[in-house]
Amino acid sequence: MFLRASLALLLSLTGLGVPTHTRLQAPVSLGSVVPVPVSTTPTPGVTFEITANTAIFVEPGSAQIGCYLAGILRPSTGFPAVVYLATGVGISLLLSGAPASAGAEGYQLDITATSITIRANQAAGLFHGVQTLRQLLPVTAESTTVQPGPWLVPGGQIVDYPRFSYRGAMLDVARHFFPVPAIKRYVDQIVLYKVNHLHLHLSDDQGWRIAIDSWPRLASYGGATAVGGDPGGYYTKADYTEIVNYAVIRHLTIVPEIDMPGHTNAALASYAKLNCNGVAPARYTGMKVGFSSLCVGLELTYTFIDNVIGELAALTRGPYLHIGGDEASSTSAADYATFVNRVQGIVAAHGKTVIGFHDVLNATELPSTVAQFWWTTTANATVAQAAGRGTKIIMSPANKTYLDMKYRNSTRLGLKWAGLIEVQTAYEWNPGAHVAGVGESSVLGVEAPLWSETIRTSNDIEYLAFPRLPALMELAWSPASSHNWEAFRQRLAAQGPRWQVMGVDFYPSPQIGWPTP
């Protein structure tokens, strides 16, 4: 209701439908990008106008991104936005001429009165540059129907590259299942903030969500349930491949997770023979954790894991395979270490790198294993010692990054065990100095997990992710020296109207001065 009413006001404010729109539709400010770029130099008084004649010029290595950009421009502008494999005057996506500092994911964006040029060393950088350009277009560019324009882009130069290479979001599709279109929708929303990994929590006590040919009952029986008795579901291999391919085009790596040895009731319920006592437990639709465990002493357990990891690795384009490893409170410490050590070997044998929740550091981590820190404390000797040995850490402190925590007591969705997380709380911490002994160089990046005990729909995802996900991605992408809550609030406020046009159901936090008429 609030959003609908403010959208109407916003549209009247921006003068849409008013014939002399040029007076009202000022270009977006070059300084309004989230995450804030490394360097932004406006050229006062200069704007580029995208018109029906504006073409996109690409090279073989940037053609796909050119088509992606055209796909964003066409519905709202109604312009042909033709993509040419040639050089010319218009919007150019070039894999040459970027500064070395841009690295693998950075870019340089130049906007003059006659041209827009994005230069990068690699395609990923061009893609991130396009996301910056997307935020510099009038918010109505996100519309799926033709809007009047004009399509002005502010003049100047942006040079930009990330602080951390791993910028992640996680979605728990196990407690509640989210079908392929919901995943694609979330992918499109998060890449706007330069997220480059989407971790899918594919199995838990309440549901198994990926078809495994050698163990078909995992999905057909173990996938049929969800928290609260809600409908379950699972991805066929074709569905999963569709997600992976959709992500690849958007320079996003899907990180699949099979949580083990705990959080495995759905698997244990599907196959009696996986249980130490040979008896399958009932399927589970509650919200408790820590009660299930794979049978560590049973050889079949490792055949099972080898089959599952093998089939999942074959579907996976990225380097990582997440083995969970959290809250194995029904597994003894000795069994846990035996289990995790063996599973790391299985993952490696299938050519993948292990990520595990930081609990896996209670075993002997491989040098390549990445640990995801998720607790609420800022001192953890086990994690600090691992960092000291060179182990890389993904920062997901639950009291800062868990998107399933409520914003405030009255928030309709979410949990509270790690505390309430308003936007400022999500923003005010330093991933490179959060856990004692885990410095900047030990941190691979930041991931924002969204556990789904209390959420069922895309609207629910969006309400919890926005605006906290962009806040967290600013910590993951932008230089630590640019960290400034007051400046961030201003830039974040400018995203609100964009989300309204995109139909993103965000939380209108009172901490942010959202534009009002």
Residues with active-site annotation: 327
Are 256 and 316 within 8 A, CB to CB?
Answer: yes
Are 352 and 321 within 8 A, CB to CB?
Answer: yes
Are 58 and 85 within 8 A, CB to CB?
Answer: yes
Q: Does 289 bind ligand NGO (CB under 6 A)?
A: yes
In the complex, the smallest distance separating the C-beta of residue 324 from ligand NGO, rounded to whole angstroms, is 8
Are 10 and 119 within 8 A, CB to CB?
Answer: no
Query: What is the distance between the alpha carbons of residues 355 and 335, in angstroms, rounded to a whole number?
Result: 19
Tokens matching residue 330: 């029904």
Pairing relationship of beta strands 151-160 and 107-111 according to DSSP bridges: antiparallel
Taking CB atoms, the residue at the shortest distance from ligand NGO is 451
Which of residues 402 and 407 has its CB atom nearest to ligand NGO in the complex?
A: 402
Which of residues 147 and 454 has its CB atom nearest to ligand NGO in the complex?
A: 454
Q: Does 326 bind ligand NGO (CB under 6 A)?
A: yes
In the complex, the smallest distance separating the C-beta of residue 357 from ligand NGO, rounded to whole angstroms, is 5
Q: Is 13 exposed, middle or buried (0-12, 13-18, 19+ CB in 10 A)?
A: middle
In the complex, the smallest distance separating the C-beta of residue 165 from ligand NGO, rounded to whole angstroms, is 22
Among 57, 79, 221, 402, binds ligand NGO (CB under 6 A): 402
Q: Does 330 bind ligand NGO (CB under 6 A)?
A: no
Are 269 and 222 within 8 A, CB to CB?
Answer: yes
Beta-bridge partner residues of 394: 372, 445
Among 404, 422, 447, 462, binds ligand NGO (CB under 6 A): 404
Which of residues 53 and 329 has its CB atom nearest to ligand NGO in the complex?
A: 329
Which of residues 176 and 491 has its CB atom nearest to ligand NGO in the complex?
A: 176
Helix runs in 49-99, H state only: 63-77
In the complex, the smallest distance separating the C-beta of residue 340 from ligand NGO, rounded to whole angstroms, is 15
Which of residues 119 and 263 has its CB atom nearest to ligand NGO in the complex?
A: 263
In the complex, the smallest distance separating the C-beta of residue 262 from ligand NGO, rounded to whole angstroms, is 9
Binders of ligand NGO among 122-181, rule CB under 6 A?
A: none
Which of residues 336 and 357 has its CB atom nearest to ligand NGO in the complex?
A: 357
Q: Does 466 bind ligand NGO (CB under 6 A)?
A: no
Q: Does 327 bind ligand NGO (CB under 6 A)?
A: yes
- The CA distances from residue 40 to 108, 368, 462, in Å, are 10, 36, 29
In the complex, the smallest distance separating the C-beta of residue 287 from ligand NGO, rounded to whole angstroms, is 8
Angle at 69 between CA 63 and CA 74, to 5 degrees: 120
In the complex, the smallest distance separating the C-beta of residue 231 from ligand NGO, rounded to whole angstroms, is 19
Which of residues 153 and 446 has its CB atom nearest to ligand NGO in the complex?
A: 446
CB within 8 Å of 282: residues ≥ 6 apart: 269
Are 476 and 455 within 8 A, CB to CB?
Answer: no
In the complex, the smallest distance separating the C-beta of residue 396 from ligand NGO, rounded to whole angstroms, is 8
First to last CA, the chain: 16
Query: What is the distance between the alpha carbons of residues 163 and 432, in angstroms, rounded to a whole number?
Result: 10
Query: What is the distance between the alpha carbons of residues 451 and 200, in angstroms, rounded to a whole number?
Result: 10
Q: Does 374 bind ligand NGO (CB under 6 A)?
A: yes
Query: Total number of residues binding ligand NGO (CB under 6 A)?
Result: 10
Are 445 and 165 within 8 A, CB to CB?
Answer: yes
What mask of x and - would describe binding to ligand NGO in positions 412 to 451, judged by CB under 6 A? ---x-----------------------------------x
Among 234, 357, 407, 506, binds ligand NGO (CB under 6 A): 357
Q: What are phi and psi of 75, to 5 degrees?
A: -60, -40
Which of residues 62 and 292 has its CB atom nearest to ligand NGO in the complex?
A: 292
Q: Which residue do the tokens 């993948």 mark?
A: 352
Query: What is the distance between the alpha carbons of residues 262 and 204, in angstroms, rounded to a whole number?
Result: 8
Residues forming contacts to ligand NGO in the complex (CB under 6 A) are 289, 326-327, 357, 374, 402, 404, 415, 451, 453
